[in-house]
A and B are shown apart, each in its own frame.
Chain A
């Protein structure tokens, strides 16, 4: 019973990633695409959590942490690039 519901959950998660991909393709501005990419990263964390239960292992817990950190850093870098044109400022203040 849990197997069936986990497979349904995987299908629903991949559907939501596909819908976010549609927003990435046709988003009018760059901020839309960055929001959709951030959402895809967070949804991927949920997919890895489901795969951990399916394979009955705890080996992917670090993968969750690494994807969360990388999605956050990439999103704030892109936000800073959209806002000011540079990611690392040159002046001290």
Chain B
């Protein structure tokens, strides 16, 4: 088992995990009933998924080429720093402009599935 196979396995697992997190957050955005819960799904899960993907790319170039890319690390750090701040600002703007909060999400699902 040489370094090439190890890098392929690690990169494949990290990237598939990250993309699955992105897909889960997208379906959370389509299924949740509220701006705040949608932002909860989108911000956390997409940030973690993209961090996993970029870290997989970083490890791929490190193991395969022996090149530590500082710019990729800077991108990882910047996404990790700014995505939750953007989610916080959007949630505060929605609260200031009186977007309504769904109090009990389970009742909304029951009502929607009954009407369908």
Contacts and interface: CB of A to CB of B under 8 A. Distances in A.
Contacts of B23: 12-13, 15-16, 19
Interface residues of B, number: 51
Binding site of B, secondary structure by majority: helix, strand, loop or mixed?
helix
Interface string A41-70: 011011001101100001001101100110
Given A16-B23, A39-B25, A83-B96, A45 B75 contact: yes
A50 B109 CA distance: 36
A1 B7 CA distance: 12
The winner among B8, B30, B56, B83 for most chain A CB atoms within 10 A is: B83
13 contacts: A2-B12, A9-B53, A13-B19, A19-B29, A23-B30, A35-B29, A38-B90, A46-B50, A49-B54, A50-B19, A52-B57, A64-B54, A83-B93
Interface residues of A, number: 47
Contacts of A76: 85-86, 89
A49 B69 CA distance: 12
Contacts of A53: 11, 15, 56-57, 60
B54 A31 contact: no
